Amino acid sequence: MPLSEILAVTDNFNPKLLIGSGGFGKVYEGKLANGVTVAVKRSESGHGQGRPEFQTEVLVLSKIRHRHLVSLIGYCDDGAEMILVYEFMKNGTLRDHLYSMASTTTMLNWKQRLEICIGSAKGLHYLHTGSDGGIIHRDVKSTNILLDENYVAKVADFGLSQAGLPDPDHHSMALKGSFGYLDPEFFRTFQLTDKSDVYSFGVVLLEVVCARPAIVNSTAARREEINLAEWGMAWQKKGEIEKIVDPSILGEMNPSSLRKFAEVAEKCLRPDGVDRPTMLDVCWDLEYALQLQQGTPAREEDDDDDDDDDDDEMSAGDDSAGDVDATATDSGSVFSQHRVDGAR
């Protein structure tokens, strides 16, 4: 897109249209000439390094369309400006609806949280295995899971760090990712894999169930509470995860649904990538946790509208769905023996 169009869309980067800022730069709400609302991300550090990679990557990413991925609508690469234009997500980030809530955001109940987790797991599964396959997100976190006007979850900002995008926060690409979410295996191997995304997703699952950040910065926090993954898993090992569950949803939770959910988080957070499930396994397990919540073990009369398209998208990798039980080697957790096929 030409810079002139971006300037028109954002009213010359009108500060009144600013909706947020992150590692890449400032994000503005804008309107395209055809009336579609977009989120415009403007890079703050146009070093120009890695430009060709950036362009190739952005071209690939802008072709990806999936119900649970935020579409990249276009980009602008002009002089010092590097700008990305995304589909606008009306209900903001998942994090906004879990804690540090602004007065305008609404609280999510347990079923909504499960559906959001399932949606984002489907989006990540598609990135990992879909037709444009083999894309590692590299920055899975609760601010990169956005909610549209119907609270449908969409994963944002995927695959960009591969493009050699200038990252003002970090000097090396190797350090891409956000603290509290980073796969510990990465520090041993310096390899990011799709299982690194699975680890980060496990941290998001804990955030969703506990309604607290991945890292607590407060000096008041006790040492063992600083890192959510460590803290959450310590409670899970004791079999007392309910003690750290968000009090506002504890009452409505079916205990078996919570148990299943915590089990998924535990599997995602395993120290070695090979021991972690695939995103497809995670999808099925979370679907099962949702069924347990609804008291409908075999899912038939589900009224939610995302059945058809999503199940098709998941079916590409169905083979591995049956492996769920086989990977359940951790003696500490109780695994239900549900047949994934039966759950469909």
Residues forming beta bridges with residue 75, ordered by sequence position: 84
40 contributes a contact to ligand ADP by CB under 6 A: no
266 contributes a contact to Mg ion by CB under 5 A: no
Q: Which of 9, 27, 192, 253 binds ligand ADP (CB under 6 A)?
A: 27
CA distance 132 to 194: 14
Which 3 state secondary structure label does DSSP give 11?
coil
The residue range among 20-28, 206-214, 218-226, 256-264 that interacts with ligand ADP, by the rule CB under 6 A, is 20-28
The active-site residue, picked from 96, 139, 157, 310, is 139
The residue type at 130? G
Q: Which helix (H) or strand (E) holds 155?
A: strand 153-155
End-to-end CA distance of the chain: 43
Nearest to 114 by CA among 297, 294, 317: 294
Q: Which of 8, 13, 20, 164 binds ligand ADP (CB under 6 A)?
A: 20
Q: Which of 10, 93, 142, 196 binds ligand ADP (CB under 6 A)?
A: 93
Which 3 state secondary structure label does DSSP give 18?
strand
The residue type at 91? N
Q: What is the β-pairing status of strands 145-147 and 153-155?
A: antiparallel
The residue range among 102-110, 151-159, 213-221, 229-237 that interacts with Mg ion, by the rule CB under 5 A, is 151-159
Residue 41 in marked binding region: yes
User: Considering the complex, what minimum distance in angstroms separates the CB of residue 71 from ligand ADP?
Assistant: 9
Site string for ligand ADP, 63-92 (x = CB under 6 A): -------x---------------xxxx--x
Looking at beta carbons only, is 69 or 249 nearer to Mg ion? 69
CA distance 140 to 124: 9
DSSP state of 337: -
CA distance 249 to 338: 25
Residue 70 contact, options ligand ADP, Mg ion, none, Cβ 5-8 Å cut-off depending on partner type = ligand ADP
Looking at beta carbons only, is 77 or 87 nearer to ligand ADP? 87
CA distance 166 to 187: 22
Q: Which of residues 128-147 bind ligand ADP (CB under 6 A)?
A: 143-144, 146
| 318: annotated active-site residue | no
Looking at beta carbons only, is 5 or 318 nearer to ligand ADP? 5
CA distance 344 to 280: 13
CA distance 147 to 150: 7
Say how far residue 182 (Cα) sits from the centre of its chain. Answer: 13
Residue 284 contact, options ligand ADP, Mg ion, none, Cβ 5-8 Å cut-off depending on partner type = none
Looking at beta carbons only, is 38 or 258 nearer to Mg ion? 38
CA distance 130 to 146: 20
Binding site: what residues are annotated? 41
Binding site for ATP: what residues are annotated? 41
Q: Which residues bind ligand ADP (CB under 6 A)?
A: 19-24, 27, 39, 41, 70, 86-89, 92-93, 143-144, 146, 156-157
Q: Which residues bind Mg ion (CB under 5 A)?
A: 144, 157
Query: Which amino acids are annotated catalytic?
Result: 139
